Amino acid sequence: MSERWARTFLTAYRFAGAAAYPLVGPYVAWRTSRGKEDRIRRRERYGIAGRERPEGPLIWIHAASVGETIAVVPLVESILDYGVNIVLTTGTVTSAQVAEERLGDRIIHQYVPLDLKPAVSRFLDHWRPDLAIIAESEIWPMTILELGARRVPQVLVNGRLSDRSYKSWKKRANIAEALFENLAHVVAQSDVDGERFLSLGARPVTVSGNLKVDTTPPPADERALYTLKRQVGARPTWAAISTHDGEEVVAAEVHAMLHKRHHGLLTIVVPRHPDRAEALAAQISGMGLKLARRSKGDRIIADTDILLGDTMGEMGLYLRLTEIAFVGRSLTSEGGQNPLEPAMLDTAVLAGRNVQNFRETYQRLLDSGGAKLVRDRDMLAGAVNFLLTNEVARHEMMAAGAATVEEMRGALALTLKSLEPYIQPLVVKSRLKGANGR
């Protein structure tokens, strides 16, 4: 594919919009997520602002979903300390709730506009950002092109390219280069991610580590935690969190294999997508297991086998009920989920072998003894059994995970250092405007 062809393609994309080229943009992803949106604020997805633009410099920060939003909260708070306005966009209702809970009215929250020229142009016409900061792997061709055309600096932070995404972009290397040349800076999570962005044409690229390491542990409502701990009592527990299709059944089967050996065993299952709860409840009950659903307020009683954590925003609650956590999307699905939250909360981490999306994090935890990978259901049952039986080994694993997280911290400082050349002029501009206003 020639460079000229790539630029012709992107020019056509700019004018026709992502609907004409669904394989390039995230338009298809949005179509499949409809129904999970805030209907009252749907106009924001078409670039129609729900708020007035404040006076002075403004930075647009985008974080796609809950994980990315949590990761950028410390970064947002650090930038707010400079006295610069921030409009934070997210793509889901749950990430909007996280933004509200953790940042409140210190920022302006909007839903991210669709990657279509009319929506993006309308959004940019209203907000007129002086700088755009994009988190992780959000590659929005129309948005990148429009920001580039308006000469707005764009910085990708906590940048990550999964194996699948990298292979896909490599097949369209010229298009990737024509897009990534619009980025003023890429701050990558790892050396591997940095090398991938460089090979696709991004310049300059620095490596910071994972911003998620510099976040605080997920919170828990103290009253709810007290109530659940009283109900659980001294029962042995383990959890299967962020599970995907098939892994909940595996967790239930592991429970059935172990509950006679470990009297009173309680298994906590927290699906990644709670909207699957009805089907999961029927499936697990059909296995002859007694189920309590958190969303229904069910009490955990003596013969409860499974606590189904079918709520959003309560991971901190569930993790504080156990010292052993299997992290999903790693056994029956591929890519893995983030193991940092359980490690932060002094939890021994187990996972399947398909953890490509968090390869470096898992490698650090494996090297320190804070995590263990399992091949299948039987190996998972063996690992859970070993950790339940051996308190010393379990506590050593828990301590190793927590220590590894501490050693990995520092991404926030490195990211802020990379952003300094773009933020400092806005700080000066903001202060001058304040002084002139007085």
Task: Give the 3-state secondary structure of residue 1.
Answer: coil
List Cα–Cα distances, 371 to 237, 349, 415, in angstroms.
18, 5, 27
The structure tokens listed for 169 are 């972009």
Distance, CA of 22 to CA of 142 (rounded, Å):
12
Spatial CA neighbour of 408 closest among 346, 357, 343, 352:
343
Contact 327, 301 (CB under 8 A): no
Given phi > 0 = left and psi -120 to 50 = alpha, else beta, which region is 31?
A: alpha
> For residues 278-298, b (16+ Cβ closer than 10 Å) or e, as one string?
eebbeebeeeebebbbbeeee
Task: Give the 3-state secondary structure of residue 438.
Answer: coil
Instruction: Respond yes or no: is residue 138 known to be catalytic.
Output: no
Distance, CA of 415 to CA of 437 (rounded, Å):
32
- Strand positions, DSSP E, 304-421: 306-308, 324-327, 348-351, 371-373
The structure tokens listed for 135 are 């988190």
Contact 106, 59 (CB under 8 A): no
Spatial CA neighbour of 18 closest among 117, 91, 112, 92:
117
- Per the residue annotation, which of 68, 146, 247, 323 is the catalytic one? 68
Position 88: which residue type?
L
Burial (CB count <10 Å: 0-12, 13-18, 19+), residue 240: buried
Distance, CA of 82 to CA of 416 (rounded, Å):
12
E strand or H helix at 77: helix 66-80
Position 126: which residue type?
H
Distance, CA of 421 to CA of 41 (rounded, Å):
34
Distance, CA of 142 to CA of 27 (rounded, Å):
10
- Catalytic positions, written as ranges: 68
